[in-house]
Every structure is written in C-alpha cells, then in structure tokens.
C-alpha cells in the first residue's frame, strides 16, 4: 500500500505566509491549545500539588510548606507556587533557590504583585536557574 502524499494540498492555506508569519501562527495556535490546560491547572490545584511542584524544583519540604502557606494566604495558589517563585526570581534577578528561600522566610511578599507582572521567556527563565 502506497500513501498518497497530500502535503501540497494541506499546506495551500499556509503557502503565502512568510517564515515570521508562520512562526507567529504557530505560537497563536500553541497558545489556543495550552490555554485550557492553564485554566485547568489554575482551578484544579491544591496545597499538596503545589508543594509537590516545589519539591521537584529542588526545595525541601519545610521550605515548600512555608511558600505554599504564604501563597494560600495571599490568594496566589491558583497562579502556582512554582510560578510565584520563578517570577520573584526574575524580578529580583536572583537564582530560583534563593528566591524560594527568601519567600519561605517571609521576605519579598510585599514585592510579589510587581514580580507577577514580569514577562517570562525561555531565555529569561534560563538565567535564574
């Protein structure tokens, strides 16, 4: 059995797009795919799940517990405790480990609102690891 290749037919609606336009379309479609997953994660998390995420990020259980408790207190659990730590690390331009330790000690929570406004890119996330 030989497969009839229909690539040219299937790509006709994309053929006129430049490389930049194709990349933009890719990211738009990716965002549409991921959006429901983000909503599910936001609405279906728990302190236990968030502690687990922090443990996988390399924090010990006491540090993870302290961060999650503060996230609950501040109404940030739906954002993800790991996300809060990452945003704070980017905001302060410090390693993730140091950011988490500061937050666990109670420091930096007054800056979290500004930190959550930081835009994340693959390059910026790699800087704080």
Rama region for 97: left / alpha / beta (φ>0; ψ in -120 to 50; rest): alpha
pLDDT at 107 over 80: yes
pLDDT: is 37 or 111 the higher one? Answer: 111
Q: Is the pTM of this model over 0.85?
A: no
Q: What is the pLDDT of residue 55?
A: 98
pLDDT in tens, 21-53: 999 999 999 999 988 988 887 788 899 999 999
Residue in 75, 74, 52 with CA at minimum distance from that of residue 65: 52
Q: What is the pLDDT of residue 2?
A: 64
Q: What is the pLDDT of residue 110?
A: 95
Phi and psi for 4 in degrees, rounded to 5? -80, 120
pLDDT in tens, 52-102: 999 999 999 999 999 999 999 999 998 999 999 999 999 999 999 999 999
Q: What is the pLDDT of residue 5?
A: 80
CATH 1.10.8.1000: does it fit domain 19-127? yes
Residue ranges of the domains in the chain? 19-127
pLDDT at 1 over 80: no
């Amino acid at each position: 059995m030989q497969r009839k290749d229909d690539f040219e037919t299937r790509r006709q609606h994309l053929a006129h797009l430049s490389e930049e336009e194709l990349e933009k379309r890719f990211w738009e479609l990716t965002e549409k795919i991921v959006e429901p997953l983000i909503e599910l994660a936001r609405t279906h998390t728990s302190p236990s799940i968030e502690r687990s995420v922090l443990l996988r990020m390399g924090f010990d259980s006491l540090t993870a517990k302290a961060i999650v408790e503060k996230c609950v207190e501040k109404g940030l659990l739906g954002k993800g405790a790991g996300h809060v730590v990452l945003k704070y690390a980017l905001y302060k331009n410090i390693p993730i480990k140091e950011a988490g330790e500061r937050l666990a000690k109670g420091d930096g929570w007054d800056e979290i609102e500004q930190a959550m406004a930081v835009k994340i890119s693959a390059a910026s996330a790699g800087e704080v690891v």
